[in-house]
Every structure is written in structure tokens, then in C-alpha cells.
Amino acid sequence: METTGWTGGIYRICDWISKLAYVNLLWIFFTLAGLILFGIAPSTVALFTIIRKWMMGEHNISIFSSFWNVYKREFKKANILLGSLLVVLAFMYIDLVLIQAMQGLLHYIFLTCFVIMSIILTIIFLYIFPVYVHFEGSILHYYKSSILLGTSFPLRTFMMVLAVGTGLFISLLFPGVALLFLGSGIAFALTYFSYSIFPKMSPGVDV
């Protein structure tokens, strides 16, 4: 098939659309295969890994085999990461309940701290999976790197927030789009905005 000119452009767009739909279905399937709770994290890691490979120009990989291999290899570590995130969310919820029971100046002081922590947690959720698939390190390393990147590049972070918000809004309006593109579309956007800034991190970080 012609791969130059406008026909080549159309072909590449259609190729990306079909691949994003396919990998999104794999993401859903393997999430369900892990009973959702134990499947969502390794499935998401596999999803981001595949999209990262495409970003790096590796377009001829076997999508299913690559997805399955990453899913198996990262199953334990990805679920430890998810467990840590759930613990943080639980503490945030408990803090919110306690703050709501407070009154006066103390209420506003702790509420301000809660808002700041919520912003930091949002940054972590935006960057944690792109960082996970790009760098080798501990769970703590992924947290620190996510916060460092998110705060060092606020414009990129804001664009990522918009991308996620837009993706969720479109998915609510068109559920069929969510079935085919919600996970892969968001993963593509987060990888796209974060991938180019990874080399700007301090030398010596393992990649």
C-alpha cells in the first residue's frame, strides 16, 4: 500500500486507530481476567508498555504476545504499586472525613493541606505508569520521579489533565468510544506528553 502523500497519511491514521482499539480491548480483557482488582494494574502497565514501544518506533511487534509477556512479568510488582496507591487513597479519605468534622481555623488549615496533597496525588496518577514503564526502580522511586516531573513541567501536567478530562467526557457521551479507546487513548496522551521530558531528568537514572 502507498505510504507517502495524503493516502499514506490516511493509512497511518487508520493503522493507529485500529491498533489503539485492539490494545484497548486487550486491556479490558486482561483486567477482567485478573478479576479487575488484580488485573487492572498489570494490564495498565502492559498497555503503557506497548504504546511506549510504538512511540519509540517499534511498530512491528506482536501486540498480543508483548502484552501477555509484560502482564505476566509485571503482575506482582504492578499490584504492589496498585496496593500502595489504594493505601494512599484510603488515608486521604480518612483525612477528609476527619477534616469535615473539624470547625474553625483548624478546619481551613487542614483543608488547605488536603487540597495540596490531592494535587500531588493527581500528579502521581498522571505520571506513575509512564514512569513505571520507562524507568527501572523501586515503588518509592516511581513516586518521587512522578512528583518531580509533574512539578517541574506544570504546562505538560496541565495538558495531561485536560487530555484525561476530555477523554472521560467523550467516553461519558459515547460509551462505544470508551469500549474501544478509553484506556488506550488516555495512555497514548499521557505517554505522548511525558515521553519527551524523560531525557531531561538527571543523568544516572536507569532507563
Instruction: Give 60-71 pLDDT, tens digit per residue.
Output: 899 999 999 999
State pLDDT tens for residues 80-138: 999 999 999 999 999 999 999 998 899 999 999 999 999 999 999 999 999 999 998 99
Global pTM? Answer: 0.92
Share of the chain above pLDDT 90, in %: 82
> Cβ neighbours of residue 154 under 8 Å, at least 6 residues apart?
none
Residue of higher predicted confidence among 9 and 125: 125
Reduce the DSSP state of residue 84 to 3 states and report it: helix
Q: Which of 18, 65, 68 is nearest to 42 (CA)?
A: 68
pLDDT at 5 (0 to 100)? 66
Measured distance CA(48)–CA(154) in Å, rounded: 22
Residue 104 region by backbone torsions, left for phi larger than 0, else alpha for psi between -120 and 50, else beta: left
**Minimal CA–CA distance to 181: which of 191, 192, 190, 170?**
170
Domain ranges of the chain: 5-200
d(CA 129, CA 41): 9
What's residue 3's pLDDT? 56
